Chain A
Amino acid sequence: MAANVEQKKQTVLIVDDQPDNLALIGSLLKDIYKTKVALNGEKALQIAISNEPPDLILLDVMMPGIDGYEVCRRLKENKATNDIPVIFLTAKSEVEDEQMGLELGAADYIAKPISPPIVLARVKNHLMLQSAREYLKEKNRFLENTFSRYVSSKVIEQLKGTPIDEFLKMDKREVSILFVDMRGFTALGSRLTPEEVQETVNSFLDNMVKCVEEMEGMVDKFLGDGLMAIFGAPLHNETHAWQALSAAASMQKVHKDWMESRQAANKTVGAIGIGVATGEVVVGNVGTSNRMEYTALGHLVNLASRLCSNAAGGEILTIKESLEQMKHHASALQVQDEFLTATFISKGLTTFKNISEPLEIFSVSAC
């Protein structure tokens, strides 16, 4: 058992045209890592593209033939080797050189004559970072598992492109939250067979999800006979208020048509109420290791949910912030939508729990 658990040593490739330097650095690292050596750039590149590539490269800058900068450039150009961290070893330390080396994609510099503790610390730092990165490459798989049911493939592709740092942090940002639910569904449920309930809910939610995806929102969760969607996260999006209210508008339209077709088939269903609110929330991945979920946290979520429950069938309730931003974006994007330019009627001030001041609520009805 112990033999199986023993970790495979990581490999460090040392590249220097001075055999003395190779010996010195090699003896420093050999107890902790597996070491390989190369006396010139050509040899270094050969080892890097071999079947057993190194986990990190210590690369002398001044070498006859191809110098360290050129080696680094070629490593970074090749997809097979561009992930390997490169630390330059250099006697001269001009700021311009360091700038250039780092721009080529090097991870760090070590000044010669080398200091053993510094070499050990920097090699360790970059190997650690590299292992952690590899571990987190799993992130893409995780993303697909977590999001693929709820967001369009376009959004997933964009998420894969975002750096790990961006993806991991809990972020305070402005978004628009939408809640929708179908009225009278519970009552309906008692009259239908389980199969009929399932068919009705799936068909209803399918329509709602399409409306969210069309506007590049994310379905955060399904809530029985409704759902919660976020606009403006995980992908940043300036026009989230416009997208959320557009999605709300198309939900009402699509649902109205669906209700009519159901009616014709003698399967009456209720209208939907929608709440949309724009403001600051904390977004990010929360949960435990085996069940992580991207979501939004904050009073705004409760507010959007309350707006949704207060809305009558066919109605969209929203707040001033959403409305003003939506109008601004709609004119900036030059979109024409009769529903969105329709008059939202003020329903006066309403007090909400955990929100210090009463908010002015606006309503628009689709039907």
Chain B
Amino acid sequence: MAAANDHPERQVILIVDDSPDSIALISGLLNDLYRVKVATNGKDALRIAFSSDPLDLILLDIMMPGMDGYEVCSHLKKESQISDIPVIFLTAKSDVADEEKGFELGAVDYITKPISPPILLARIRTHLRLKRITDYLKHKLEASDLL
């Protein structure tokens, strides 16, 4: 994808959603600010997450045919090299028990559908900043043998 390579310094977001409309809406909001990758199912999402081009954040739809968002998340969190990619769940239903489950699996937040653009952008910004700072601090700690 040529567009994704135009700004190599930008942070990379993977959108995982089985609905093309949803992907189009979200990537339309993010394209100017970030490098965006997309997957329409859990298997592709994992393949992309494991590829050599590291991701900075994953927006993960919960309800998908085949492997659902929870399952994708638990696979991601098991692998040490990608477990620190923040995952934000996208969900239409907002049930406390489900939310609890998502956080237990290691997600950092939820965004409810229908998506509110300012909220989506604000949450992404928060977690990308956190990711950048933690990566930086981790790098420093590793360098000083504290980790």
| In contact, B118 and A102 (Cβ under 8 angstroms) | yes
A109 surroundings in chain B (CB, below 8 A): 119
* Complex partner residue of A125 from B112, B117, B126, CB under 8 angstroms: B126
Q: Give Cα A99–Cα B121 distance, bound, in whole angstroms.
A: 10
Q: Which of A225-233, A286-294, A326-334, A345-353 contacts B (4 or more CB under 8 A)?
A: A286-294
| In contact, A125 and B118 (Cβ under 8 angstroms) | no
* Cβ of B24 under 8 Å from chain A: no
B123 surroundings in chain A (CB, below 8 A): 108
Of chain B, the residue at the smallest CB distance from A126 is B126
| In contact, B118 and A99 (Cβ under 8 angstroms) | yes
Among B83-142, those with CB < 8 Å from A are 94, 96, 99-100, 103, 108-110, 112, 116-119, 122-123, 126-130, 132-134, 136-137, 140-141
Q: Give Cα A128–Cα B103 distance, bound, in whole angstroms.
A: 16
| In contact, B126 and A102 (Cβ under 8 angstroms) | no
B9 surroundings in chain A (CB, below 8 A): 169, 171-173
Q: Give Cα A132–Cα B118 distance, bound, in whole angstroms.
A: 24
Q: Give Cα A109–Cα B137 distance, bound, in whole angstroms.
A: 28
Q: Which of A64-72, A113-121, A238-246 contacts B (4 or more CB under 8 A)?
A: A113-121
* Cβ of B143 under 8 Å from chain A: yes
B96 surroundings in chain A (CB, below 8 A): 115-117
- 0 or 1 for each of A75-90: is its CB under 8 Å from B? (1 = yes): 0000000000000000
Q: A108-B122, A136-B133, A168-B132 are in contact. Are A121 and B94 (CB under 8 A)?
A: no
Q: Give Cα A173–Cα B8 distance, bound, in whole angstroms.
A: 10
| In contact, A117 and B103 (Cβ under 8 angstroms) | yes
A107 surroundings in chain B (CB, below 8 A): 122, 126
* Complex partner residue of A117 from B100, B118, B122, B130, CB under 8 angstroms: B100
* Cβ of A144 under 8 Å from chain B: no
Of chain A, the residue at the smallest CB distance from B146 is A289
Q: A132-B137, A168-B132, A290-B144 are in contact. Are A118 and B118 (CB under 8 A)?
A: no
| In contact, B94 and A115 (Cβ under 8 angstroms) | yes
| In contact, A95 and B130 (Cβ under 8 angstroms) | no
Chain B: number of interface residues, binned into ranges: 20 to 34
B32 CB → nearest A CB, Å = 16
* Complex partner residue of B143 from A118, A121, A164, A287, CB under 8 angstroms: A287
| In contact, A288 and B110 (Cβ under 8 angstroms) | no
A143 CB → nearest B CB, Å = 15
| In contact, B94 and A93 (Cβ under 8 angstroms) | no
Q: Give Cα A168–Cα B135 distance, bound, in whole angstroms.
A: 10
* Complex partner residue of A164 from B8, B108, B133, CB under 8 angstroms: B133
B25 CB → nearest A CB, Å = 13
- 0 or 1 for each of A278-302: is its CB under 8 Å from B? (1 = yes): 0000000001111010000000000
Q: Give Cα A136–Cα B132 distance, bound, in whole angstroms.
A: 12
Of chain A, the residue at the smallest CB distance from B110 is A118
Of chain B, the residue at the smallest CB distance from A131 is B133
Kindly list the 8 A-B residue pairs having the minimum CB-CB distance in the complex, ordered from nearest: A289-B144, A288-B143, A132-B133, A99-B118, A289-B140, A117-B99, A117-B100, A168-B136
Given contacts A102-B122, A129-B133, 11 further A-B contacts (CB under 8 A): A99-B118, A107-B122, A115-B94, A121-B109, A132-B133, A164-B129, A168-B136, A287-B143, A288-B140, A288-B144, A290-B144
Residue contacts A-B, CB under 8 angstroms, 10 given? A95-B118, A99-B117, A117-B103, A121-B103, A132-B134, A133-B133, A164-B129, A171-B9, A289-B143, A290-B144
Q: A-contacting residues of B (Cβ < 8 Å)?
A: 8-9, 94, 96, 99-100, 103, 108-110, 112, 116-119, 122-123, 126-130, 132-134, 136-137, 140-141, 143-144
